[in-house]
Structure 1
């Protein structure tokens, strides 16, 4: 069974589907931060030096043990010469 097939099977369970949808914003922020940093060929240390945010804090953000504020995300985006973009999408799209 592939991961996609497993997810499709589990999404039929309403309790699982709700938990999955509820945790997606956090997961998307983590993925976006890591992908952006890597796309800029930056280490956590380099991003730390550019933003003044401790490397340990960046690590916590990327590990999901700390939830960032919008202001902090903007500082990180600036440090990567990027713009922060927030998107709202219908829940139905997350259920697929």
Structure 2
């Protein structure tokens, strides 16, 4: 039996264009794996940028917002909930939830508790040293 050359990237793109379920599953995988559309890793980019002290200070400032947004997005994806469905479970408006996920809002402690309750989870706040935080970023 002769070998057949296959263009896997082309096949994936065709599947993404033609099959909405495949596109959704593929895009979720890409996000989960931290793979950009061009195939380079966001983690590699982050490690490179993290060497700049100004960038690192900005990353510290955004860490909690990013973690909150990521937790909400991950939970929504895991439970396959729309923003509207998730907002209802969290007892807040869809607009408010979007602002939190876009990191354009400083949610109150009570709002975070509502979100945790909507996810059937408990809110946990943690303080970590910059050294510990840096280590986690570099190990991504």
TM-score of the pair, normalised by structure 1? 0.81
The reply to whether residue 29 of structure 1 matches residue 68 of structure 2 is yes
Runs of 4+ in structure 1 deviating by more than 6 angstroms, as ranges, are none
The reply to whether residue 86 of structure 1 matches residue 129 of structure 2 is no
Higher relative contact order structure (alpha carbons within 8 Å, sequence separation ≥ 6) = 1
Whole-angstrom distance in 1 between the partners of 2:41 and 2:94: 35
Partner of 1:6: 45
Higher alpha-carbon Rg? 2
Assess if the C-alpha contact under 8 Å between 1:11 and 1:17 holds in 2: yes
Aligned length: 96
1:60-80 superposed Cα distances (whole Å, 9 cap, x missing partner):
111112221111011111122
TM-score of the pair, normalised by structure 2? 0.59
Query: Map of 1:15-54 to 2, 5 A cutoff?
Result: 15-54=54-93
Structure 1: tracts of 5 or more residues without a match: none
Change (3 A) 1:33 1:12: same
Whole-angstrom distance in 1 between the partners of 2:57 and 2:83: 33
CA RMSD, Structure 1 to Structure 2 (Å) = 1.9
Assess if the C-alpha contact under 8 Å between 1:30 and 1:63 holds in 2: yes
The reply to whether residue 55 of structure 1 matches residue 94 of structure 2 is yes
> How far apart are residue 9 of structure 1 and its match?
2.5
